[in-house]
Chains A and B, each alone.
Chain A
């Protein structure tokens, strides 16, 4: 079974600085997606960035980028020029390849990292 591990329960960063959130996962599949979701106090999970496993190039979205190391099964999120609005819980998530038995994709989430941004 696949697992997702976020070993940093909480991180702090100074406004305008850069912070990296860690995520590791375990799988025997070769075809999968990885995501980072942000969950502010409003509770709604918002997609930050996605990475398809077959793509070697690291995904970037404005101030957000990932370091995807497929062999090491590592998927870290880098936030540059941190802003107060970046403060939230961040969840790393894994989407499995299609399961023909159940007819579904499995999405597995880590336990999250709470990011505090200091003014």
Chain B
């Protein structure tokens, strides 16, 4: 796609429920990042995918959080047994890991509009 697409835009759920947040990165971007942004804070790293594999999941807060990217494109962030503290905006970003021929790797992340999760 033309940009990074995230769905849903907003999700309200009850404590203890399971949620899935979806990210569709820019076509051709092999690197995909998930961040969590709490109110008034900067984005905090959760997990990084290079292709289909999670190259770095050191930011996932606990085992209730899991993410997949089975075909190296769309990624899903999964949160089990949601807690009120999980309420935040979940941001997805993609980038070129390496520049293609004739294309400069500018090093930047391209972000989606985020999914706002509210746990009641």
**Does residue A43 face the partner (Cβ distance < 8 Å to B)?**
yes
Cα separation A44 to B6 with both chains bound (whole Å) = 11
Other than the known A44-B112, A105-B31, A111-B41, what 19 A-B pairs have Cβ atoms closer than 8 Å? A6-B42, A33-B108, A35-B108, A43-B89, A43-B114, A44-B113, A50-B106, A50-B108, A91-B42, A102-B48, A104-B31, A104-B55, A107-B45, A107-B93, A107-B109, A109-B35, A109-B43, A109-B44, A110-B42
Instruction: Using CB atoms and an 8 Å cutoff, list the residues of chain B in contact with chain A.
Output: 31, 33, 35, 40-45, 48, 50, 55-56, 58, 89, 91, 93, 106-109, 111-114, 116
In the complex, chain B residues whose CB is within 8 Å of the CB of A6? 42
Q: What size tier do the contact residues of chain A reach? A: 20 to 34
Q: Tell me how far the C-beta of A11 lies from the nearest C-beta in chain B, rounded to whole angstroms.
A: 15
Q: A37, A43, A47, A111: which has the most chain B beta carbons within 10 Å?
A: A43
A4→B58 CA distance, assembly (Å): 19
Give the distance in Å from the alpha carbon of A106 to the alpha carbon of B107 in the complex.
Answer: 11
Please indicate the chain A residues that have their CB under 8 angstroms from the CB of B116 in the complex: 43
| A118 contacts chain B at the CB level, 8 A cutoff | no
23 sample A-B contacts, Cβ–Cβ < 8 Å, listed by A number: A33-B107, A42-B113, A43-B116, A45-B91, A45-B93, A47-B108, A50-B106, A91-B43, A93-B109, A102-B56, A103-B50, A103-B55, A104-B31, A104-B48, A104-B50, A104-B55, A106-B45, A107-B33, A107-B109, A108-B45, A109-B42, A111-B40, A112-B40
Tell me which residues across on chain A come within 8 A of B42, comparing CB atoms.
4, 6, 91, 109-112
Distance of A31 from chain B, by nearest CB (Å): 11
Please, how many angstroms separate the alpha-carbon atoms of A91 and B106 in the complex?
18
Among A1-41, those with CB < 8 Å from B are: 4, 6, 33, 35, 37
A95 at the interface (CB under 8 A from B): yes
B107 contacts A102, CB within 8 Å? no
- Chain A residues with Cβ below 8 Å from B40 are 111-112
